[in-house]
Amino acid sequence: MAMVEVRNLKKHFPVKRTFIDAMLGKPQLFVKAVDGVSFDIEEGEVLGLVGESGSGKTTTGRLILRLIEPTAGEVRIGGNDIFRMSKEELRRFRRHIQIIFQDPMAALNPYMRIGEAVKHPLEIHGIGSSEKERRKMVYEMLERVNLTPPDEFYRRYPKELSGGQRQRVVIARALITRPKFVVADEAVAMLDVSIRSQLLKLLADLKNEYNLTMLFITHDLATTKYLCDRIAVMYLGKIVEMGSFRHIYENPKHPYTRALISAVPEPDPKKKKKRYIPKGEVPNPINPPKGCRFHPRCDQVMQICSKKEPKLVEVEPGHQVTCFLYEE
Ligand SMILES: Nc1ncnc2c1ncn2[C@@H]1O[C@H](COP(=O)(O)OP(=O)(O)OP(=O)(O)O)[C@@H](O)[C@H]1O
Ligand SMILES: [Mg+2]
């Protein structure tokens, strides 16, 4: 059984209407932010969820942790159906599921010392038998994320830390309860490139050490390199391709995935490659294009693409794509 099972997950946000709009009988419109997403994540596996801004990545992550309620679909974590849990069951279950946000400054209370912030989840969930024991756990965790000496960092405030150090605090706080499953939403996006690779390396080490199961959300395909076992490519609320890291990098099938891959900077200047950026902009998810949602921007568009929705096809074991180029 997979650690995380996501089935036909949907979130349609109602678009705000004015009173006059409603009086005039204008229909209620919905932003189809997530529109039928399914995948599994095995224990100890990191799934990268990539796609352009607005494709529905953050909404998917928030749904899976039930930070927002779904329009439809199912999510099971370690066999637990999280949308069927009562408030109290969910509150107790939260120690097993954690999230790492993009902006560590916003995620941390500016008036709370670092040590208190990292200790907080232990107190909420009643982990550790005494204050002394909890403090020891925090010291160990701070040391583990390279905030040393830990007693000095324990006393500091967020504003006295660099951006990279603050993100280490956020990681320490997320992992202190030893969660089964972690969602990292653009966890390194706001950091300088040099610090970014250090943090990715730290996450990769922690993943191995704690056998973490993770959903790693990123708009930047290049950051999946250090960490992700598999990758799911999202476009306008749907997954268009999914496969192992190598499938996606070495044998991308969907024209959208190919475009994303071609946009990843090549570190070796001798290996020249053609960059191909999809034309136009991401369409409005209130009224997504008929048929394949990518067809207005696709360089291999065929007649059928605007008429029917492509089905998920397995092109090789463990590698799926939704595109008419691969349907019989
Ligand atoms: N609370 C909300 N109410 C209405 N619409 C929303 C809400 N949250 C997100 N959306 C819309 O849902 C769509 C998907 O948003 P989401 O934040 O999930 O995308 P994303 O892939 O995480 O993008 P980014 O890379 O910019 O973080 C967007 O069109 C967004 O405007
Ligand atoms: Mg997002």
Measured CA distances, 181 to 108, 170, 273, 302 (Å):
21, 15, 37, 41
Q: How many A from CA of 199 to the centre of ligand 2?
A: 19
Mean pLDDT of 180-202: 91
Q: Considering only residues 36 and 273, tell me which one the structure prediction assigns the higher pLDDT.
A: 36
Task: Output the pLDDT for position 256.
Answer: 95
**CATH assignment at residue 242:** 3.40.50.300
In the chain, the percentage of residues whose pLDDT exceeds 70 is 96
In a domain? residue 135: no
Q: Does residue 187 sit within a domain?
A: yes
pLDDT in tens, 198-251: 999 999 999 999 999 999 999 999 999 889 999 999 999 999 999 999 999 999
Q: Residue 74: beta bridge partners?
A: 7
For the chain, the first-to-last Cα distance in angstroms comes to: 31
Question: What pLDDT sits at residue 230?
Answer: 98
**Planar angle of CA 248, 254, 260, nearest 5 degrees:** 65
Residue 105 — pLDDT band, cuts 50, 70, 90?
Answer: confident
pLDDT (0 to 100) of residue 281 = 77
- Measured CA to CA, the distance from residue 142 to residue 137 in angstroms comes to 9
- Could you give the CA distance from residue 92 to residue 177 in angstroms, rounded to a whole number? 12
Q: Which ligand is nearest to the CA of 101?
A: 2
Give the pLDDT score at 268.
66
57 lines ligand 1 (CB under 6 A): yes
Mean pLDDT of 147-159: 95
99 assigned to some structural domain: yes
How confident is the model over 270-280, as a mean pLDDT? 68
Instruction: Read off the pTM.
Output: 0.94
**Looking at ligand 1, which residue's alpha carbon is closest to its atom 22?**
58
Determine the pLDDT at residue 20. Answer: 87
The lowest-confidence range among 203-207, 281-285, 316-320 is 281-285
**Does residue 33 lie within any of the structural domains?**
yes
Structural domain includes residue 79? yes
pLDDT, tens digit (0-9, with 9 covering 90-100), for 80-91: 999 999 999 999
Q: What is the average pLDDT value for the chain, to the nearest integer?
A: 93
Instruction: Return left, alpha or beta for 201; rule: phi > 0 is left, psi -120 to 50 is alpha, else beta.
Output: alpha
* Helix H or strand E encompassing 131: helix 131-144
Quick one: average pLDDT of 135-143? 97
What mean pLDDT do residues 30-36 have?
95
- Say if 143 falls within a structural domain: no
| Cα distance between residue 78 and residue 168, in whole Å | 27
The answer to the question of residue 201 being in a domain is yes
Reported as a single tens digit per residue, the pLDDT across 194-210 is 899 999 999 999 999 99
Between CA 138 and CA 132 the distance in angstroms is 10
Ligand nearest to the CA of 233: 1
On the question of pLDDT at 143 being above 70, the answer is yes
* Residue 274 pLDDT exceeds 70: no
Domain count along the chain:
1
Q: For position 193, what pLDDT does the model report?
A: 86
Does the CB atom of residue 165 touch ligand 1 within 6 A?
Answer: no
Q: Per-residue DSSP letters for 50-78? A: E-STTSSHHHHHHHHTTSS--SEEEEEET
Query: How many angstroms separate the CA atoms of 176 and 127, rounded?
Result: 10
Give percent of the chain above pLDDT 90.
80
| Whether residue 31 has its Cβ less than 6 Å from ligand 1 | yes
Task: Establish if 103 belongs to a structural domain.
Answer: yes
- The residue segments making up the domain with residue 271 are 4-111+157-326
Backbone angles phi, psi at 129, to 5 degrees: -90, -20
d(Cα 208, Cα 194) in Å, to the nearest integer? 22
Give the residue, out of 9, 11, 12, 13, with the most ligand 1 atoms within 8 A of its beta carbon, to mutate for a pocket test: 13
Q: Whose CA is nearest to atom 31 of ligand 1?
A: 54
Ligand 1 pocket residue status of 56, Cβ below 6 Å: yes
Instruction: Output DSSP code: residue 262.
Output: H
Structure letter (DSSP) for residue 48 = E
* Three-class HEC string of 157-200: CHHHCCHHHHHHHHHHHHHCCCCCEEEEECCCCCCCHHHHHHHH
